[in-house]
Amino acid sequence: MAEDRPSRTAEAFFGRRHGKTIRPMQAAALSDVLPRLRVDLSSPAPTDPRDLFPLPVERVVLEIGFGGGEHLHHASGESPTTGFIGVEPFVNGMATFLRALEREPRPNVRLYDDDAAALLDWLPAASLDRIDLFYPDPWPKKRHWKRRFVNRANLTRFGRVLKPGGSFRFASDIDHYVNWTLLEVAAQGDLAWQAETPDDWRRPYPGWPGTRYEAKAFREGRTPAYLRFVKV
């Protein structure tokens, strides 16, 4: 119910919208391809988000902040009967992914190019099978911690839209953000961490293709953690 949802008024998107100059082919993809794939939040949400896709899909997965879309493109090719909603407000990242889609189309992908919190509030309750958040902006300075995507309000959103038994995957190379996420999830209470041995967070997820930010973390000598939580 809308009145149970966290208020958007005190929140905002803190990341960058634009980077390097957009090349002409990327600009064309943004103006021609994105409007066809964008989820329209001004329309009422479907009762079942599988109806957002032009072909039958069995389940729906949301990837928040997909960057250049390396994981999204790989995962949507590996699982053609899963519908993927990818969110990325950074225009250059979205343009990179759209060019990959032009080369290798994915009919099971829909996109949103603004704050994922707005999309989460639009989606019906208990409608997603999984939420992926890989290498979110770490905001290392203490005065910026409140900008981190993992916070009580967004975890409450996850708890609302995930189906019972649905999962939330979080990868990060920033130890402080990993510990922060474990504490915030435990305090919020809708999700249970699935780990019994250290390998459960040291090993990447099955079929993991890596991401651009992960490659940078490895180059700079940082070791990621791969967390998985389940909606209880």
Residue 47 — φ and ψ, nearest 5°?
Answer: -65, -25
Tell me which stretch binds ligand SAM (CB under 6 A): 33-41, 52-60, 85-93, 177-185: 85-93
Give the one residue of 88, 121, 129, 173 binding ligand SAM; rule: CB under 6 A: 88
| 146-175 positions binding ligand SAM, by CB under 6 A | 149
Q: Which is nearer to ligand SAM, 55 or 152 (CB)?
A: 152
Q: How far from 36 is each of 40, 52, 69, 140, CA to CA, in Å?
A: 10, 12, 18, 37
Axis crossing angle, helix 70-78 with helix 91-103, rounded to the nearest 10: 30
| Residue 137 falls in the annotated catalytic set | yes
Using CB under 6 A as the binding criterion, the count of chain residues that bind ligand SAM stands at: 22
Q: Is 182 in the site for ligand SAM (CB under 6 A)?
A: no
User: Which residue of this chain has its Cβ atom nearest to ligand SAM in the complex?
Assistant: 65
Tokens of 104: 């290798």
Distance between CA atoms of 67 and 61, rounded to whole angstroms?
Answer: 16
Q: Is 201 in the site for ligand SAM (CB under 6 A)?
A: no
Per-residue binding letters, 59-78, with ligand SAM (x by CB under 6 A): -----xxxx-----------
Distance between CA atoms of 176 and 141, rounded to whole angstroms?
Answer: 11
Tokens of 23: 């090349």
Q: How far from 173 is each of 48, 166, 213, 215, CA to CA, in Å?
A: 34, 24, 9, 10
| 93-152 positions binding ligand SAM, by CB under 6 A | 93, 115-116, 134-137, 149
Tokens of 225: 């953690």
Closest CB 93 distance from ligand SAM, rounded Å: 5
Residue of 137, 173, 190, 199 marked catalytic = 137
Distance between CA atoms of 131 and 168, rounded to whole angstroms?
Answer: 5
Closest CB 9 distance from ligand SAM, rounded Å: 15
Q: Is 89 in the site for ligand SAM (CB under 6 A)?
A: yes
Tell me the chain's radius of gyration from C-alpha atoms.
17
Q: Is 213 in the site for ligand SAM (CB under 6 A)?
A: yes
Q: Which residues are catalytic?
A: 137
Q: Which residues make up the interface to ligand SAM (CB under 6 A)?
A: 13, 15, 64-67, 87-90, 93, 115-116, 134-137, 149, 211-214
